[in-house]
Amino acid sequence: MKIFTIVGSLRKESYNMHLAKTMQDRYKDKIEIEIADIRSLPHFDQDEENNPPQAVKKFKESVASADGVIIITPEYNWSIPGVIKNALDWASRVDKVFIGKAVMALGATPGMLGTVRAQMHLREILAAPGIQAKILPPGGNEVLIGFAHQKFDEQAGQLVDEGTLSFLDSKVEAFIDFVKSEAH
Ligand code: FNR
């Protein structure tokens, strides 16, 4: 199962990128995770949407060919970072590669609320007419990692908190089932 993964932080020691790398390694026997090169995407420009820059073409092809997409978002000022919104804006135009795509959202923050506000916004955006992704339904399936500084080994660049890892295991299983059930 091919899962394209978008991480909304460009920071070298990003908790959210550490989470993506942890998942890439931990679930490698079940899913193949490719991490998007989000830094390569230029700002959205509607004049270029019909023939976008190469990096955008590559990004859209990766979304289109994936069985599912994981979006790992930091919370910036109670919302998603601009780099994720920018990527979604590109993806929402012309060939609209997210329509019907199974998506799972996760996020990590040192703060207490675990990116809940960012993920609420993300869910609204993913329902927009040009996107219409199929997001793993809420109700126990939200992965909100608060107090990240206590749960990651920053030197190893890995999520190490056992309780969070076992919760994540069950949510990844739920997403794999969701991807299979949404496949058409
Ligand atoms: C933040 N941070 C933050 N945290 C939070 O829980 N809610 C918020 O609204 C914000 N707002 C915010 C804005 C901006 C511009 C920055 C740079 C940071 C803190 C943020 O969660 C923290 O820096 C994380 O470590 C960012 O994620 P990465 O880079 O570790 O993946």
Complex ipTM: 0.99
Ligand 1 proximity of 111 Cβ (cutoff 6 Å): yes
Question: Ligand 1 centre and the CA of 28: distance in Å?
Answer: 28
Residue 50 has pLDDT above 80, yes or no: yes
At residue 183, the pLDDT reads: 76
pLDDT band for position 150 (cuts 50, 70, 90): very high
Range of the domain at 101: 2-182
Atom of ligand 1 nearest to the CA of 113: 6
- Atom 18 of ligand 1, nearest CA residue: 76
Q: Could you give the number of structural domains in the chain?
A: 1
Q: Following DSSP, what letter does each residue of 70-109 receive, concatenated?
A: EEE---BTTB--HHHHHHHHHHTSTT-TTTT-EEEEEEE-
Nearest to 107 by CA among 152, 146, 73: 73
Tokens 């190893």, residue?
156
Does residue 74 have its Cβ closer than 6 Å to ligand 1?
Answer: yes
Say if pTM beats, i.e. exceeds, 0.80: yes
Q: Is the pLDDT of residue 184 over 70?
A: no
Task: Give, using CA atoms, the residue closest to atom 21 of ligand 1.
Answer: 109
Substitution site in 73, 76, 159 for ligand 1 pocket (most atoms within 8 Å of beta carbon): 76
How far is Cα 122 from Cα 164, in angstroms, rounded to an integer? 22
**Residue pLDDT, tens place only, 65-123:** 999 999 999 999 999 999 999 999 999 999 999 999 999 999 999 999 999 999 999 99
Residue 119 Cβ inside 6 Å of ligand 1? The answer reads no
CATH number of the CATH domain containing 63: 3.40.50.360
| Percent of the chain as helix, strand, coil, to the nearest 5 | 40, 20, 40
Q: Is 76 in the pocket of ligand 1 (CB under 6 A)?
A: yes
pLDDT averaged over every residue in the chain: 97
Indicate if the pLDDT at residue 140 is higher than 90: no
> Can you tell me which atom of ligand 1 is nearest the CA of 79?
9
Q: Is the CB of 146 within 6 Å of ligand 1? A: no
